[in-house]
Chains A and B, each alone.
Chain A
Amino acid sequence: DIQMTQSPSLLSASVGDRVTLNCKASQNINKNLNWYQQKLGEAPKLLIYYTNNLQTGIPSRFSGSGSGTDYTLTISSLQPEDVATYYCYQYNSGPTFGAGTKLELK
């Protein structure tokens, strides 16, 4: 199975900060990676698909990058409504989620 390691597990940042969330795969996943946002009590929402494609309706402050085993979700200017847990998800083989990064306001 492919293991997905997200870092950090908890991130505190201020409104307006540039925020970077990381996801590392245990083997090459060929950019077959999505990012999801889950707010408390809600279903996950797709933000980024296939590493760097912004899902329709998602603000442009969200972006994704990466290749091979290393992937990144960036929020260019943190907003209060971005407080949530973020999960990466690889679907290259035997789909797996990362454990999540909880993003809170400082």
Chain B
Amino acid sequence: EVQLVESGGGLVQPGRSLKLSCVASGFTFSNYGMNWIRQAPGKGLEWVAYISSGSSYIYYAETVKGRFTISRDNAKNTLYLQMTSLRSEDTALYYCARRVGPDYWGQGVMVTVSS
């Protein structure tokens, strides 16, 4: 069974940093590209970032480019999102999701940016 479990969220002040993790199981992690997708409270879905299976290709939404860094450790079956210079508008539930056209999603981890 494919499982994606996010962690690392919480309450953080504007301008600070936070690092999210997503541990994958039930499939060969190193064979799949991965995404981070977020959803602000009561709002729709926003794609954030994508990393290919071997980390050769990385793409970001314009809203996070230069502030967020997506990475992965295939030996640990883990996807990361390093978030810096956080803003109130980054407050959202962050999902990790498998593949370019995401087929499996985690349950999400909440990030709240507030003073």
Residues of A within 8 A of B (CB): 1, 32, 34, 36, 38, 43-46, 49-50, 55, 87, 89, 91, 94-100
Contact = CB atoms under 8 A, between A and B. Distances in A.
A46 B95 contact: no
Interface of A is mostly: loop
Please classify how large the interface on chain B is, using the bins under 10, 10 to 19, 20 to 34, 35 or more.
10 to 19
B100 A43 contact: no
B41 interface: no
Contact of B108 (A36, A43, A45, A49): A43
B44 A46 contact: no
B103 A89 contact: no
B101 A91 contact: yes
A51 to B, nearest CB: 10
A98 B46 CA distance: 9
B105 interface: yes
Given A36-B45, A95-B50, 18 more contacts: A43-B95, A43-B108, A44-B95, A46-B101, A46-B102, A46-B103, A49-B101, A87-B45, A89-B47, A89-B102, A91-B100, A91-B101, A94-B59, A95-B35, A95-B100, A98-B44, A100-B44, A100-B45
